[in-house]
Amino acid sequence: MPAVSVASVTSISQVLNTAQRIGLPSPTDNIFDLELLERGGHVSLLDMTYAYSVFASQGYMVGIEPLDRSVRARNPVAVLKIIDNDGQILWEYNNEQIALSRTNILGPDLAYLVTDILADVNIRRNVLNTSLDMIDLGRPAAIVAGSTGGDDDNWAIGYTPQRIGGVHLSREDGEAMSLDANGLDGAAPIWQALMQYMNDRDGLQAATWPQPSGVAEYIVCERSGLTPGADSECPRRTEIFLRDVVPTQEDIHWQTVIVNSNTGQLATNDTP
């Protein structure tokens, strides 16, 4: 599990501090250990979706200033418009208001890397080994979906550059659900329908995230992720990296060797 690997290398406290910065409150059970990353911390759907909105906004948290800033820098906006009996708009949370209610939480480069991972259709298809029709929006979209360790909660949270949506399913009796671990037959198709509804309702055209200047594309060996050597014949792919954190080590997993055609073994000095 990537989150556990990161927490074991750094510390669970650093992971929790970062989680709080992007909008997630501290776990209510006050148990802070690596198992927290598997069992979950009883975070609400609103908090989870709001946290992912930081990546959708390329590192910015958008919302109103809370009374208590010790929890997070901003809160989601609950009221978008106030209209009187005559249909006159008295107040609206418009683009001008949005521009005034932004707090930078992460660098755009780092936020872009996370989005690029979550929006990678090819990786989704290879990992899930199934059709992606139930989460495809026909436009670039980042999504994370799955179940908690006990299969008692099923989540799907995803976003486009313009909208974000989250879905949480659970049983009233708290028992495990018979949904697949990836949430593709539970929360994910509901998320897809929700996002398609918002796109159609608001007449939104397909869009993508602009690549920040601090991010660059590099060719690496497919299996190792290292730089291909001059004579390397490794299968290659293009990946994006932060410009100051690029792979410099040459790949050593792929090597050209001479094989004895009679034995199928490595050739020796006695090989004819």
Please name the residue that has the structure tokens 């501090």.
17
Same domain? 140 vs 270: no
Same domain? 189 vs 267: no
Q: Is 208 contained in some domain?
A: no
Q: Is 209 contained in some domain?
A: no
Same domain? 108 vs 133: yes
Q: Is 89 contained in some domain?
A: yes
For range 234-244, the mean pLDDT: 90
- Among 148, 177, 202, the domain-final residue is 202
By residue range, what is the domain housing residue 222? 214-272
Q: Is 207 contained in some domain?
A: no
| pLDDT tens for each residue of 212-222 | 999 999 999 98
- Among 202, 235, 252, the domain-final residue is 202
Share of the chain above pLDDT 70, in %: 87
Q: The domain spanning residue 172 has which CATH number?
A: 3.40.710.10
Same domain? 14 vs 107: yes
| pLDDT tens for each residue of 69-87 | 777 888 888 888 999 999 9
- Per-residue confidence band for 64, with pLDDT thresholds at 50, 70 and 90: confident
Which one has a higher pLDDT value, 94 or 67?
Answer: 94
pLDDT score of 149: 62
Same domain? 188 vs 53: yes
* pTM for this model (two decimals): 0.81
Structural domains counted in the chain:
2
Q: Is the pLDDT of residue 121 over 90?
A: no
Same domain? 182 vs 233: no
Same domain? 94 vs 178: yes
Same domain? 194 vs 265: no
Q: Is 183 contained in some domain?
A: yes
The strand pairing partners of 259, in sequence order, are 266
Same domain? 88 vs 221: no
Of the candidates 22, 28, 94, the residue with the CA atom closest to the CA atom of residue 55: 22
Same domain? 96 vs 192: yes
Distance CA 1, CA 48 (A): 19
- Per-residue confidence band for 40, with pLDDT thresholds at 50, 70 and 90: low
Same domain? 192 vs 240: no
Same domain? 233 vs 175: no
127-155 core/surface letters (b: 16 or more CB in 10 A; e: else)? eeeeeeebbebebebbbbbbbeeebbbbb
Q: Is the pLDDT of residue 235 over 70?
A: yes
For 105: left if phi > 0, alpha if psi spans -120 to 50, otherwise beta; the answer is: alpha
Q: Is 263 contained in some domain?
A: yes
